[in-house]
Structure 1
């Protein structure tokens, strides 16, 4: 990699590509419309397997993405599963962790902040009384998600890192999805 190519990359983010993406979306706002898909099948008990599907942008399938990824989930034995895979609750944390990593890296790159490390310790709490239909006043979903962020930078002050962390909370699509109501449409198809 040449020196000029290295200077265009920060935190593993191609800053030229990031700028080009921002400019393209400014010029054509419809490019901001992105959809992900997934197909899932129940295996047995608490187990399921899912495979990623098409990604669409501006209503068109993104054709340069050829890979698919398989996910399996289960529950720990204490929660009626066979503990053969991560639980859906852990996948929620993984989705948030992945989105935080993207949002930290890109927002830091825009600000010229070099990240030397980023680590997240995460917990999510559920009250099973809602899921088990024991108490209608208890929602079945997560009660709280806690994230401890450890971020280090050789060129940013503590204040800049606090501002970056605040920006990540405002800009993370998955955090926003978890923190605000989302219209989830479930349809029985026979």
Structure 2
């Protein structure tokens, strides 16, 4: 049995248990709405502001300033490297979510991990995006993920950690189609 306030993988097991119990008692608290606001700057450069969200049964006010993220393109795709391009952000989001999911579930199961490193690559053909070949997909053809997990772990535990990573919300989004509703906002009237 672990001492109170002892952490596993940066999480306190009692916090995990308390959160799970709270969500079991009130499943509505598990509903979240994540939001991003994006504005085109020029060419392939645009900027997202990420701050407010709904979660835990209320609007969250913990973020006093937005996270500002620039999206760009490399020169070969007519950009100026103002930031990673959106398909690279998908890999970043996938890596981050799978890693966090893995270490959280490992902590909940009392499995300490010393280190997790992940290499991701995505096969993409610009012919689809540019409309040059209708048989080529616009997005990734395939994504490759390789984990390097270190710690006093058996091969069976490492396989269990990989199964935990597959509980990642972003892994689910990428591997199962998600309906996307597209609308059009009217410009705000200038006074």
- Same-fold call, TM cutoff 0.5: yes
Which of the residues 127, 132, 139 maps onto 1:129? Answer: 127
Give the gaps of 5 or more residues in structure 1.
none
1:121–1:147 CA contact under 8 A, matched in 2: yes
- The structural deviation recorded for 1:107 is 0.9
Residue 165 of structure 1 is matched in structure 2 by 162
Aligned to 1:10, what secondary structure does the other structure show? coil
Aligned to 1:56, what secondary structure does the other structure show? strand
Which of the residues 2, 15, 18 maps onto 1:17? Answer: 15
Give the gaps of 5 or more residues in structure 2.
187-191
1:4 pairs with 2:4:
yes
- Once the two structures are superposed, residues 59-80 of structure 1 have per-residue CA deviations (whole angstroms, 9 ceiling, x without a partner) of 5202333342000010110111
TM-score relative to the length of structure 1: 0.92
- Once the two structures are superposed, residues 128-167 of structure 1 have per-residue CA deviations (whole angstroms, 9 ceiling, x without a partner) of 111111122222011111100000122x211111122023
Q: Distance in 2 between matches of 1:151 and 1:12?
A: 16
Residue correspondences, number: 184
Residue 187 of structure 1 is matched in structure 2 by 183
* Structure having the larger proportion of residues in helix: 1
TM-score relative to the length of structure 2: 0.91
- RMSD of aligned alpha carbons: 1.4
* Structure having the larger proportion of residues in strand: 1
Q: Runs in 1 of length 4+ with deviation above 3 angstroms?
A: none
- The structural deviation recorded for 1:84 is 2.2
Residue 102 of structure 1 is matched in structure 2 by 100
